[in-house]
């Protein structure tokens, strides 16, 4: 069993001994630590916290524990039920709440769940705040409310619709043009909350919806991470039904993958790149992505006269960099689009509406849009960690092995070669080292990755 504590939230497998997985005791402890942190920040006990969840099998159980703990800490709770991550983020600001907790393990398999922690802006806690939550939980340094100070519970079920309304109201979303195009759009929502939000958005945009795996019961029909090797069914549906485009989301709907009209993968790295190209053609400005994202965004940004900046991996780091550089669009290469005109959070609904608008405005198919973008190939690999591996030591040795090249150590180790790059870092959410590499050809990207993986296994004595 696994429990991962990081500034990205508290993530773990359901069941097992206390402290060894995401047990009910651990859920209550970290919720109470979060409530204590927010209460100290806001200077009051009766803070209001929004709670939303994806459709995981464990979601109802976790939700009851989180809500009960928050009430016991003296916090008022606004429960929005089954809701996407970006929907919950929007609800925090709409409710003028003091924070929010999203119950989702994002792309992880069904045995996982997590608490993603938000501040009063509907954005993820920063490093200092996240560390404070973990420290309070480790010390059991929290006190529950007396009976007369227990929080109040409110249920609100309209926030998915409110989210869709906000997307339709964006200036660069042209719902009328999309309706007039009479598109046929397939969507794979992996039987989670996307099955509620994505068909509703597409219907509001006036397209014919071809739904796949849209029953929000938490029974994931395939690995829920929207990678090409998991998306054969949606690709076949697009080809069979002659759909104009296909969209795939992860269980909490902050990542977006696109399927071209011929069933080919658009490439998750190119979700952000394509949307940024559309935004920048109408709004001059800067962009941000993380260190593990494609160079294509930098190329597109510079072509439009803007400045590109790279942030450490993690949505909170990208958002902070976007604010510092006044970026008009940003996100992550995993299909995460952050459009400040909507809110500072990855949002697949925003990505879908902007991409469809781009298709109809430019009168281009997805394959045609993709063909006009800079062409790179990313190889994404990972090495499973064991407790005996000294990750920091391994990364330090790797850095020394490639010191003749440009090396960035802001987040792990990124090595820039003349023909591409390799970025290796310890995951915030899983017990793995991620190794991403990029080059002008797939073979070259794979060779970069293979060389680094071989080196890591040698250093760490992994067979």
Q: Is 148 helix (H, G, I), strand (E, B) or coil?
A: helix
Is 106 annotated in the active site?
yes
Could you write out the DSSP letters of every residue in 80-106?
EEE--HHHHHHHHHHTT-SEEEEE--T
140 CB-contact burial (10 Å; exposed 0-12 / middle 13-18 / buried 19+): exposed
State the angle between helix axes of 442-460 and 391-401 in degrees (0 to 180), rounded to the nearest 10.
Answer: 120
| Residue whose entry in the numeric block shows the structure tokens 């450490």 | 312
Note the residue count of the chain: 463
| CB contact set of 303 (below 8 Å; sequence gap of 6+) | none
In DSSP notation, 107-138 reads TS-TTEEEEEEE-TTSSB--HHHHHHHHHHHH
Geometric angle at alpha carbon 152, from 150 and 155, rounded to 5°: 150
Please name every residue paired with 421 in a beta bridge, in sequence order, or none if there are none.
Answer: 416, 438
CA atoms of 53 and 415, how far apart (whole Å) = 38
- CB-based contacts of 19: which residues, under 8 Å, 6+ apart? 3, 26
b (16+ CB within 10 A) / e for 378-412 = bbbbebebeeebebeebbebbbebbeeeeebeebb
Q: Are 437 and 456 in contact (CB under 8 A)?
A: no
| Helix 348-362 with 85-94: angle, nearest 10 deg | 100
Q: What is the rounded distance in angstroms from the CA atom of residue 426 to the CA atom of residue 434?
A: 6
Catalytic residue among 23, 58, 63, 106: 106
CB 351 within 8 A of CB 198: no
Helix axes 269-280, 296-303, angle to 10 degrees: 10
Instruction: Give me the helices (H) in 205-268, please.
Output: 232-241
Which tokens go with 99?
């924070």
Comparing CA positions, the residue from 119, 127, 116 lying closest to residue 98 is 119
Residues that are catalytic: 106
């Amino acid at each position: 069993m696994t429990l991962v504590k990081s500034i990205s939230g508290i993530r773990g497998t359901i069941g097992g001994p206390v402290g060894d997985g995401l047990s009910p005791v651990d859920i209550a402890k970290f919720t109470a630590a979060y409530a204590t942190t927010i209460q100290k920040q806001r200077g009051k006990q009766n803070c209001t916290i929004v709670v939303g969840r994806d459709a995981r099998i464990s979601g109802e159980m976790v939700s009851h524990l989180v809500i009960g703990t928050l009430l016991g800490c003296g916090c008022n709770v606004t429960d929005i039920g089954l809701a996407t991550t970006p929907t919950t983020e929007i609800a925090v600001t709409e409710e003028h709440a003091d924070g929010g907790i999203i119950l989702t393990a994002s792309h992880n398999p069904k045995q996982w769940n997590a608490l993603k922690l938000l501040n009063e802006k509907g954005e993820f806690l920063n490093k200092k705040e996240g560390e404070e939550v973990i420290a309070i939980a480790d010390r059991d340094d929290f006190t529950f409310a007396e009976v007369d100070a227990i929080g109040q519970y409110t249920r609100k079920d309209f926030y998915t619709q409110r989210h869709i309304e906000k997307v339709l109201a964006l200036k660069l979303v042209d719902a009328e043009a999309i309706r007039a195009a009479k598109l046929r759009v397939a969507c794979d929502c992996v039987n989670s909350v996307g099955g509620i939000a994505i068909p509703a958005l597409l219907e509001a945009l006036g397209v014919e919806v071809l739904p796949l795996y849209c029953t929000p019961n938490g029974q994931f029909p395939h690995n829920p991470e929207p990678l090409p090797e998991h998306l054969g069914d949606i690709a076949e549906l697009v080809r069979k039904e002659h759909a104009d485009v296909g969209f795939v989301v992860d269980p909490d709907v902050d990542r977006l993958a696109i399927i071209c009209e011929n069933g080919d993968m658009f490439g998750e790295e190119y979700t952000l790149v394509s949307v940024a190209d559309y935004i920048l053609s109408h709004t001059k400005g800067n962009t941000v992505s993380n260190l593990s994202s494609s160079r294509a965004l930098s190329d597109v940004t510079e072509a439009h006269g803007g400045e590109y900046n790279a942030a450490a991996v993690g949505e909170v780091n990208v958002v902070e960099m976007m604010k510092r550089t006044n970026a008009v669009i940003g996100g992550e290469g995993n299909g995460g689009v952050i459009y400040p005109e909507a809110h500072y959070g990855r949002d697949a609904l925003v990505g879908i509406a902007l991409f469809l608008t781009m298709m109809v405005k430019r009168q281009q198919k997805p394959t045609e849009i993709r063909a006009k973008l800079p062409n790179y190939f990313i190889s994404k690999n990972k090495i499973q960690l064991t407790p005996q591996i000294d990750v920091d030591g391994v990364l330090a040795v790797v850095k020394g092995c490639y010191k003749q090249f440009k090396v960035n150590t802001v987040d792990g180790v990124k090595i820039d070669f003349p023909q591409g790059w390799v970025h290796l870092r310890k995951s915030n959410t899983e017990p793995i080292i991620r190794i991403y590499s990029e080059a002008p050809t797939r073979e070259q990207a794979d060779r970069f990755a293979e060389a680094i993986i071989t080196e890591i296994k040698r250093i760490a004595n992994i067979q």
